[in-house]
Amino acid sequence: MIIEIGHFALVLALFVAVVQAAVPMAGAQRGDAAWMAVARPAALAQFLLVAVAFGCLTHAFVTSDFSVLNVAQNSHSTKPMLYKVSGVWGNHEGSMLLWVLILAVFGCAVALFGRNLPPGLRSRALAIQGLISVGFLLFILFTSNPFARLLPAARDGQGLNPLLQDPGLAFHPPFLYLGYVGFSMAFSFAIAALIEGRVDAAWARWVRPWTLAAWSFLTVGIGLGSWWAYYELGWGGFWFWDPVENASFMPWLAGTALLHSSIVVEKRDTMKAWTVFLAIVAFSLSLLGTFLVRSGVLTSVHAFATDPKRGVFILILLIIVIGGSLALFAWRGPQLKSTGLFQPVSREGALLLNNLMMTVGTAVVLLGTLYPLFTDAMTGGQSKVSVGAPFYNAVFVPLMIPMIAAMAVGPMLSWKRGDLGAALTRLWLACAAAAVAVAVTWLVQTGGSVLGLIGVLFAAWLAVGTLVELAERVRLFRAPAGESLRRLARLPRAAWGMTLAHFGLAVVVAGITGAGVWKVESIQAMKPGDSVDVAGYTYTFHGAQEHQGPNYSALRGKFTVSRGGEPVVDLWPEKRVYTVRAMPTTEAAIHPTFWGDLYAVVGDAQPGGSFVTRLYFNPLVGWMWAGGLIMVLGGVLSLSDRRYRVGAPTRRRVPAGAAARA
């Protein structure tokens, strides 16, 4: 019964979404306040209905109702409760429902907190949200109904893919979706602004919190995903430039560009059409990401079972949304007049440079990701290629180097007219720090590559450059200490956000450099009693025993690790076989330290009583996630800035004539 309520609520949500898409939009066009006022209650009703549907599905998973096909295929009565709940979105149907739920949450948030928005903009933005919702609800109801019944009911479920039974992956999809769908808000505001033909500083302030929230969530989602890949897949790597990973990375790049360009719109009243374009691109890439992941058109190491019919549906949705919004942009975009050009050497010039490099970077990732599809289509399936990590390393990394070099300088330039020479002079400390870091690395790394030096150089440059900018702001050592402290306390949170985000990226760069360049790997067969040296640590293998877990049985190996005769840690890597699906998984044993992770994997038994083992030392790998967290912290701090809080800004009164002209 509850399942039918959920299904029914979802159908009702579709009807409400149609109303939400049509009535307020028509009202805004006709200037009819009563019609426009439909947007708010519709968005709230939409949220309630989708929440009811989601709640019903969750109930089915929690109570293990195996008369529901989706539950029977993806759950099992013996599964721990956390994974029963995360199993709701650990499958295609449920994850699409989660997508719509998050969309409804964002719409509901605009309805509740967007009181300061002009009614026209608010109702149009909510109408666009409704339209997106219509598309996805149709998709769910017609191709991926999570409420389909299974008659007769299964006696027990088939279990959740064991790789997904993991805390990191339980929360990875919700965060990723919060990011993806969050960009739908920027998109809706952009489309609404295109229809109104008006973008100004206040618009930029309204869009900013949504973009920032989406960006922060997406950063968390990507971080969780790579962390999961690192410890769960047992390859010792964290990023593979796989299509599915790129799918989440492209909206992030475009969203980062959008965050920066909207600052220029706000402060300097220019780059308007470009910002609107970026908002469209960021969301389009989110949709593309969904399509790539859900359709299985690309070979991915992270691909799960997929269904081509669904791919076609999302592809059509994709064409309508992207094609429609770009057509609207081509038609109305030129009307968004910017008030003036600006000096190349200035804060806005630096932000534009950031935008150029971020978009070129996005384009490169897009090209690499879609290239196999192009060749497949061009040659009629005769020539199948794949574009792997070496391509991205060869193209993306050189593109990011000038950006990181410029990142330390940009914030030091003033608006309108900056002084590059003065900025560079004030960055002497960053230069010195970078030089010292490179010298130290040169001494420490034995016969290492130039890449390591470059990574360290730019990480140190950016980190210290960012701190120098902060010191300049508070006039450290130039004013009395008390004055500096007072300034520090009064610093707007948005400024802290920038400092933290840039500093976090420096830490990420250091982590990627360490784990990418100086990783030490050793693969061999080991018998109990054998020892192997990896990066100065001695790993001694003590054999592997059978071990029983709650819903799996495992082969558990034991290593003792010592350094210079001193014991460091015991590592217990496992190879598990989950009983329900009889599916093996590798559980790496990881001992994190400040300077790097000790990482051990035990593999199959070889003839002669030995086991294949894989041992790694991953230098600085933890810095990458720590840096990601610092970046997110920056985003959250900036989000809490009173001046930018959701719905806080108000548009300055503009004479009616001026508004029409704008």
Half-sphere exposure of 373 (CA within 13 A, CB side): 12
* Candidate ranges 129-137, 188-196, 210-218, 293-301; the one touching other proteins (CB under 8 A): 293-301
Tokens of 139: 């998709």
* Full 3-state SS string of 516-581: HHCCEEEEEEECCCCEEEECCEEEEEEEEEEEECCCEEEEEEEEEEEECCEEEEEECCEEEEECCC
Q: Which of residues 611-650 bind other proteins (CB under 8 A)?
A: 612-614
Nearest to 412 by CA among 359, 364, 467: 467
Binding mask 251-290 for other proteins (x = CB under 8 A): ----------------------------------------
**Per-residue binding letters, 55-94, with other proteins (x by CB under 8 A):** ------------------x---------------------
What are the b/e assignments for 161-199, b being 16+ CB within 10 Å? bbbbbbebbbbbbbbbbbbbbbbbbbbbbbbbbbbbebb
CA-nearest of 116, 121, 132 to 197 is 121
Cα separation, 381 vs 202, in Å, equals 50
Candidate segments 124-132, 534-542, 584-592, 618-626, binder of other proteins by CB under 8 A: 584-592
| C-beta separation of 576 from 589 below 8 A | no
Six-digit token pair at 328?
């609207």
Nearer to other proteins, 121 or 160 (CB): 160
Of the two residues 386 and 593, which places its CB atom closer to other proteins in the complex? 386
Considering only residues 341-360, where is the footprint of other proteins by CB under 8 A? 341-344, 349, 352-353, 356-357, 360
Task: Locate the DSSP E strands across 429-502.
Answer: none
Interface with other proteins by CB under 8 A: which range of 23-31, 443-451, 553-561, 605-613?
605-613
The one among 606, 643, 650, 661 contacting other proteins by CB under 8 A: 606
Cα-based distances in Å from 449 to 434, 442, 446, 455: 17, 10, 9, 10
Binding of other proteins by 395 (CB under 8 A): yes
Residue choice 29, 63, 339, 386 for contact with other proteins (CB under 8 A): 386
Binding of other proteins by 384 (CB under 8 A): yes
One residue of 44, 138, 201, 364 binding other proteins per CB under 8 A: 364
Residue 569 near residue 593 (C-beta atoms within 8 A): no
CB 267, CB 280: distance < 8 Å: no
Task: Return the residues of window 396-415 that contact other proteins according to CB under 8 A.
Answer: 398-399
Give the closest residue to 99 by CA, choosing from 52, 54, 166. Answer: 54
Rounded least distance, CB 517 to other proteins, Å: 18
32 binds other proteins (CB under 8 A): no
Task: Give yes or no for residue 339 binding other proteins (CB under 8 A).
Answer: no
Measured between alpha carbons, how far is residue 586 from residues 45, 252, 574 in Å? 45, 30, 6
| Interaction of residue 234 with other proteins, rule CB under 8 A | yes
d(CA 524, CA 519): 17
Residue 659 CA to residue 662 CA, distance in Å, equals 5
- Min dist. Cβ of residue 109 to other proteins (A): 34
Candidates 334, 381, 482, 655: give the one binding other proteins (CB under 8 A). 381
Q: Contacting other proteins (CB under 8 A), which of 394, 450, 481, 658?
A: 394
**Of 324-332, 394-402, 592-600, 634-642, which segment contacts other proteins by CB under 8 A?**
394-402
Site size toward other proteins (CB under 8 A) is 64
Residues in the chain: 662
Cα separation, 21 vs 65, in Å, equals 35
The binder of other proteins chosen from 30, 309, 486, 645 (CB under 8 A): 309
- Concatenate the DSSP letters of all residues of 91-160 into one string: SHHHHHHHHHHHHHHHHHHHHHHGGGS-HHHHHHHHHHHHHHHHHHHHHHHHH--TT-B-SSPPSS----
| CB 236 to other proteins: min, Å | 10
Q: Which of 603, 619, 622, 649 touches other proteins (CB under 8 A)?
A: 603
x-or-dash pattern for other proteins, window 120-159, by CB under 8 A?
--------------------------------------x-
Kindly tell me the sign of the dihedral angle through the C-alpha atoms of 399, 250, 333, 646: negative
387 binds other proteins (CB under 8 A): yes
524 binds other proteins (CB under 8 A): yes
Chain residues 154-213 in contact with other proteins, contact rule CB under 8 A = 158, 161, 163
Answer whether the bond into residue 152 is a cis peptide, omega within 30°: yes
Q: Which is nearer to other proteins, 8 or 371 (CB)?
A: 371
Q: Using the rule CB under 8 A, is 583 a contact of other proteins?
A: yes
Return residues touching other proteins (CB under 8 A).
73, 158, 161, 163, 234, 296-299, 301-309, 341-344, 349, 352-353, 356-357, 360, 363-364, 367, 371, 381, 383-388, 390-391, 394-395, 398-399, 523-525, 575, 581, 583-586, 601, 603-604, 606-608, 610, 612-614
